[in-house]
A and B are shown apart, each in its own frame.
Chain A
Amino acid sequence: MAARRSKAKAPAKKAPRRAAKSSARRKANREFVSEAEEILDRMREDLVDLGDQRTNGIEVDPDLVNQIFRSAHSLKGLAGMFGLDGIGKLAHHMEDILDGLRLGRIAIESPAVDLLDSAVALFTALLVDIEDPALEEKHTRDIAELIRRIDSAVEEPAPAADELAGLALDPSLLRALTEYEEHRLRENIRRGRHLALVDSTFEIIAFEEGLSELSAAIREVGEVVSTLPSPGDAPESQIRFSLLVATDMAADQLSSHLDIAGASVREVRRASQAEAVESVESTSVSGRPRDQASRPSATEAAASPPSAAQAAGREAASVDSRSATARPETAELESLRSISDTVRVDIRKLDELMNLVGELVIHRNAIESIAARLSTDASAARLAAELTKTNKQLDRKLKELQAGVLDVRMVPLRQVFEKLSRVVRRLRRDQDKNVSMDFRGADTELDKLIVEQLVDPLMHVVRNAFDHAIESPADRRAAGKPEDATIFVQAFQRGNHVVIEVRDDGGGIDRAKVRAIAESQGLVSPDDELTERETLDLIFLPGLSTRGEISETSGRGVGMDVVRANLAALGGMVEVNSVVGRGTTVSMTLPITLAIIQALIVGVAEHRFAIPLNSVLETLLLEGHEIQRSEDREILNLRGDALTLRRLSEEFELSGTRNDGKQYAVVLGMGEQRVGLLVDDLHGQQDTVIKSINGPIREIAGIAGATELGDQGVVLVIDVSYIVGESTRRMEAA
């Protein structure tokens, strides 16, 4: 089976082998490329939008510029992490342009903006050739050249006429604005919008909620230029904010629109009038004394955490007499702050946590068995009862811990779907096929590790559909189908599994053709009689590539055999259904998490195996006479349905199985299939952490991995998809 993850451990006391080193470098490069690609894709899309706004003369959306800035910033950080200085430097210069743009230092019409596209194009070229050391020098030159052009395009800003001077705002409030906020303020003044100050007081414990509610209400009709905590007479349990707002509404209109208790709205006049701020209709009675109107002084602003960055900016400004160039740091701080409320965690750290939890569970099980032994001793019975009770509490807490760690690992499939749709967009550009994607169930959650392992197989299946299944527009017309094909990707939960279906409305799989190829490669003999399903399942055989007939996009890379192996390694399975002329459906069934699963421990002779409980439908105790024969298989009448039985002892060639007639049947279900697995004994359920098996033999038929059980040592975990699949194949052959 495929290694789920690899632990790079250097040989003790030995320098790492050179091969290992360069492969580590390659691995790092690959990691960088995959992450950087994602960022670049996003940037490219955003730049297209920016270009549209630019050519159409629409006001440039500040959020869009911010978003591109963040992408450039992430790219810079990423390059730094992987020690790729050139890329980091170039990203940094992109930031300069974007920073200038959002602060109004650079006009959207500036040629500097065109250089953003050039930079993205250069990044793309760099990623492609990242492995080639021969090109390193050329890259360095290209980067230096582009940076030079950026530097000369980003000229010094012309000193702006100060629209702010005539503004009836307290100078200390103006100084508290960040450069970006100041830019937005100027922009809004230029557009002739009304300015207003909205004051509101919130209970400290719930202020975030109240503040975001207020901000959202304001955004419906305008823009929040700045949110400043304001000092004043608020009681200790409360906190007061002043929001500087730009809208097309007059203050009284705004006030009635907001209609939020405790919020007061004051218009900020633009001409310098004797009355700096005029209090308009206010929905609250807590209007503040005018002389104090809502301006944080330097010390107060610095003392309140949310405005620390602003205070820092202000200090820089006072030293540098508010020249624009002194502020980029502030802007950077801002942007960092806005993206840092989630934490990226290495999945291996979560694995370690999960392993720890798993080990705790093993210890808990050991304690349980000690308690059980103690309880048989009359003199210790009372202590044993207490131990059992405490152990139960421990168990509950462990379960909560487990659920907590598991929850952190769960991610929605959305990202995978976005990746897929990007790939299809690219394919569509390269080939003359109109294919639209239809995604459903993007919120379905799966273990991050499974999602990671799923990307490649899923990508392959989708590419297969695109390349092999969807006919050319001409063929589709001829077949009376709409020219536009659809690939339908749907994820949903079924019991303890998640099913992902990829369905296309293409030509379907031609079984005769599959058979012919299999025969030509000697995988089946012309005399073999195969059912429809068996013929279809031939596509899962290694070596059966249909590359000859169709394009190279999915010909290279993995085949369906790898898709099946990958899914089996995850404890899942893949099924194909196809109707010629109508289309093909590939459904992949996966467990929701790999981390800790409940397993049923079964025994044959002295051997123990674990079966993931999420695939066990029920267990039955059978008397010998209940097992019937039908040709070469054994079946059971399960409430009127014939259930195929398989003996684990035969499956795994184990000797010493009990033959007294009494057997347990473990009814396994996966996808649509059912099978009863006969074993000698049931040894109860256990929480287990499934691990991949290290060693020269990578795939062990029928074994999905192994787990350590406290008292029983290593126990192999049965690959249910193998048992169920083998059985279906045999049944249909019969």
Chain B
Amino acid sequence: MSEAGSASENGDWESLARAASLRGADGEDQVDLLRELLSFRLDESPYAIPVERVREIVRVRKITSVPKMPSWVLGVVALRGEIVQVVDLRMRLGIPSKSTSRQSRIIVLHGDDDRITGMLVDAVDQVLRVNEDAFQNAEVSTESGAVNELCVREGEFVSIVDVDRVLELRAD
């Protein structure tokens, strides 16, 4: 955890992944039923998304606001020559927005058709390898409908965010 934490501090995605695979090599997990998730926090609550949707994690940089966009699109940032929209996950999930801190990160997600999108979160934790039977349906449909599953991790519920739902364009 501490190792992963420091890696995310640097936004170093490779060492995060390496740390995750090292944990897997310890042995006791059953490889075929594992799902790999990247966990992060909004306030103190843990959330996670499938790692294969993550392209990279970067520190927060200057976001240029874009006129006439839905409120949950914060604007655009430059990412090594690419211009990428950044979505405020808090607002997308109906949690009041708050200003970014030293821990805030932009998770760059793979979308459809080779498109990418940035997603602002309060802090990035680690890569989880979770056994398939630890998942359960979220049951209650939330307003955004973006959290459809939960998993239990060290006695704590982790909300699994449906990335496609987050990136879905709605008429608001």
Contacts and interface: CB of A to CB of B under 8 A. Distances in A.
Contact of A14 (B52, B70, B114): B52
B130 interface: no
B83 to A, nearest CB: 4
Residue of B54, B113, B115 ringed by the most chain A CB atoms within 10 A: B115
Describe A's contact surface by its main secondary structure: loop
Contacts of B69: 697, 700
Contacts of A355: 81
Given A7-B114, A13-B17, A654-B67, A695 B52 contact: no
A694 B84 contact: yes
A695 B116 contact: yes
Interface in B48-89: 51-56, 62, 64-70, 73, 76-78, 81-87
B77 A714 contact: yes
Given A11-B52, A12-B55, A714-B83, A695 B68 contact: no
A696 interface: yes
A205 interface: no
Contacts of A22: none
Interface stretch (A168-176, A384-392, A502-510, A701-709): A701-709
A703 B83 CA distance: 13
Interface in A457-501: none
Interface in B115-150: 115-118
A13 B14 contact: yes
Nearest to B61: A713
A651 B67 CA distance: 9
B81 A695 contact: no
Nearest to A359: B81
A6 B64 contact: no
Contacts of A8: 114
Interface in A686-724: 691-698, 700-703, 705-706, 708, 713-716
Interface residues of A, number: 37
B117 A696 contact: yes
B7 to A, nearest CB: 13
Contacts of A653: 67-68
A702 to B, nearest CB: 7
B84 A695 contact: yes
A9 interface: yes
Contacts of A714: 62, 64, 76-78, 83
B10 to A, nearest CB: 14
A11 B55 contact: yes
Contact of B85 (A6, A651, A693, A708): A693
Contacts, number: 109
Among A13, A700, A714, which residue has the most Cβ atoms of chain B within 10 A? Answer: A714
A692 B83 contact: yes
B115 A694 contact: yes
B76 A693 contact: yes
Interface in B100-117: 110-111, 113-117
B84 A11 contact: no
A702 B84 contact: no
B117 A652 contact: no
A716 B69 CA distance: 13
A484 to B, nearest CB: 43
Given A14-B52, A696-B167, A691 B85 contact: no
A9 B115 contact: no
Nearest to B85: A695
B47 interface: no
Contact of A3 (B73, B77, B113): B113
B78 A12 contact: no
A17 interface: yes
B83 A705 contact: yes
A9 B54 CA distance: 11
B85 to A, nearest CB: 3
Given A13-B14, A695-B84, A713 B111 contact: no
A706 B52 contact: no
B64 A713 contact: yes
Which of the listed residues A8, A692, A693 has the most CB atoms from chain B within 10 Å of its own CB? Answer: A693
Contacts of B17: 12-13
Contacts of B73: 695-697
B40 interface: no
Interface string B1-24: 000000000000110010000000
A708 B68 CA distance: 21
Nearest to B164: A696
B55 A9 contact: yes
B168 interface: yes
Given A607-B65, A695-B116, A706-B83, A12 B13 contact: yes
B97 to A, nearest CB: 18
B169 interface: yes
Contacts of A14: 51-52
A7 B114 CA distance: 7
A324 to B, nearest CB: 52
Given A12-B17, A696-B87, A697-B73, A713 B117 contact: no
A574 B82 CA distance: 28
Contacts of A692: 83
Contacts of B115: 3, 6, 694-696
A75 B110 CA distance: 35
Nearest to A23: B113
Contacts of A359: 81
Interface string A338-359: 0000000000000000010001
A197 to B, nearest CB: 60
Contacts of A3: 113-115
Interface of B: 13-14, 17, 51-56, 62, 64-70, 73, 76-78, 81-87, 110-111, 113-118, 167-169
Interface of A: 3, 6-9, 11-14, 17, 20, 355, 359, 607, 651-654, 691-698, 700-703, 705-706, 708, 713-716
6 contacts: A11-B110, A694-B115, A700-B67, A708-B78, A708-B83, A713-B78
Closest 7 CB pairs of A and B: A695-B85, A652-B67, A6-B114, A714-B64, A696-B167, A706-B83, A713-B62
Given A11-B53, A713-B62, A716-B67, 8 more contacts: A3-B113, A6-B115, A11-B51, A691-B81, A693-B84, A694-B116, A695-B86, A713-B78
